[in-house]
Amino acid sequence: MTQYQVPVAEKKFIGSHILVAILALAVGSLFGPLQAFEHAGWDFYTYLKPLIKSYYQGLTVHGVLNALVWTTFFIMGFLTFNVVFGLKRPLKNIVLNKVGFWMMVVGVVAAAIPILANQATVLFTFYPPLKANPFFYVGLTLVVVGSWVEGWGLFMTYSDWRKENKNERTPFVAFGSLVTALLWQICTLGVAIEILTMLLPWSLGLIDGVDPQLARTYFWFTGHPLVYFWLLPAYISWYAMLPKQAGNGKMFSDSLARLSFWLFLVLSTPIGIHHQYVDPGVPPTWKFLHSMFTFGVFFPSMMTAFTVIASLEHGARKNGGKGALGWIGKLNWSDPSVASQLLAGLLFFFGGIGGLANASYNVNLVLHNTAFIPGHFHLTVATAVTLSFIGISYWLVPYLTGRKLWQPKWATIQAWVWFVGMIIFSNSMHVLGLLGAPRRVPLGLAPYVPAEWSGRLFQVGLGGAILFVSGLIYLVVIYKTATNKERVESEVEVPIAEPMQDPALGPAWLDRWAPWIYGALALIVLMYGPVLFEMIRTMALTSPGFRVW
């Protein structure tokens, strides 16, 4: 096997990201089932006092660790691997990347202390006027800035490669990773401004109040493209790795893949106001415009679905697959990495449909504050993203450590258990939302629960229990792999699916950065400039902080 040898220093550095990510997933996942059990009437929070004082403190731990820390660290590690392996060169300045990594670690610790001390029970959205300890905001800032610094290290590495390869197409895994890092740099400007100009000074007592409407607008400037920061690394794997793993197939279209990534960069940020349909302070014109552009993201999403499925079908038919759907059985389902990602993709199909419902103004007004939303969120972030990352780790951890994956059959079982648990959990949450059950509420304590909710609330608890078992199996498999005395016989092959057509034959403008960056920034100014200008002009820093836990 002749594949690029990633330097040992880079392997350890990437492994550090994966370690922190999995630790965050382990702790955060302990609290996820507690929320589900509470809905079913099995309140374990009573037994956790005084360590965990409330349902909302547990919900904050679960959301921050699983939605923010697990994802961000795994993604930065995976993007770093893709850039180094794709460009076949070490990081330009690994010290710079390490500075960014340690800033993120210090930030996580700084934010975790007030969360555990019940001084930052503000959920992962940290909406004001809920007010947290200043260290929580400082910690979040360090995580974001640290990830920026790591991104700068990736861009510097790419810049050096480009100088030496002026006429070459950027290898897709590196290209997709750099676009994802750039998307993150742009979209996190919203929460950076929110924290530095409003929330941190407010928590330090430098200003008396906040403007919750303006803060929510800043947050959703980041909040919606954050979804694509989560999804695009999974898409990189689905596009360029999964076809190779699933049936020794090739990527159906390198050009379509690149175009979809550029469209995600351009379209995903200037649509955040569709999360604020119920906010009275946002003019209807901007809600309408953001709604229309939200449906624009549907196109690169469908291009992704088409290209990935075509790539998988190509490999399966080479292996004897026949019929309209019969080829699916020829995919390599016994590989836990493949099974995890295929099952993640299957459930994401339903998550995408739910996303269209959320983006529709009149439907959103009915669903917005109901259990439908966390049901949708768990199909996307907790399945399409998390289960895909789990699948990636099933080859990445053996690659980085040189140790064999422990009990692949158990890893495959883990993926199927997650799939079954999530179907039960998420379906019941969606139905509860349609029946009017509110979100962000400890329903186990609610005196108004009608009889038709009861069966569904039990299913929420049952699904949470199954997901907990799946998470436990995953942690055991990864721990036993990391400590496995049995080493791989030769270096694990990195699964790269070559494109069917030479990328050099594709349009050159798909590998040029400036037009897409200018286009993305121009659209952001157009879609956010007037509404933010008016909100800042009429800003009213009058709301005091509240602590309701």
Q: Which residues are tagged catalytic?
A: 224, 228, 376-378, 439-440
Give the length of the chain: 549
546 DSSP β-pair partners: 130
Neighbouring residues of 448: CB distance < 8 A, sequence distance ≥ 6:
none
What is the residue type of 157? Answer: T
- Distance, in Å, from the CA atom of 460 to the CA atom of 33, rounded to the nearest integer, reads 9
CB 41 within 8 A of CB 122: no
The tokens for 342 are 């295929």
Angle between helices 284-296 and 514-537 (to 10 degrees): 160
Name the phi and psi angles at 130, rounded to 5: -60, 130
H helix runs in 319-446, sequence order:
336-359, 361-367, 372-379, 386-401, 408-434
The tokens for 338 are 């493949």
DSSP string, 73-120: HHHHHHHHHHHHHHHTS--S-HHHHHHHHHHHHHHHHHHHHHHHTTS-
Look at the block and give the residue holding tokens 């099952």. 343
Encode 53-69: b = buried (16+ Cβ within 10 Å), e = exposed: ebbbbbbbbbbbbbbbb
Neighbouring residues of 181: CB distance < 8 A, sequence distance ≥ 6:
79, 150, 151, 154, 155
H helix runs in 134-211, sequence order:
134-164, 172-187, 189-194, 200-203
Q: Give 96: exposed, middle or buried? Use CB within 10 Å, 0-12, 13-18, 19+.
A: middle
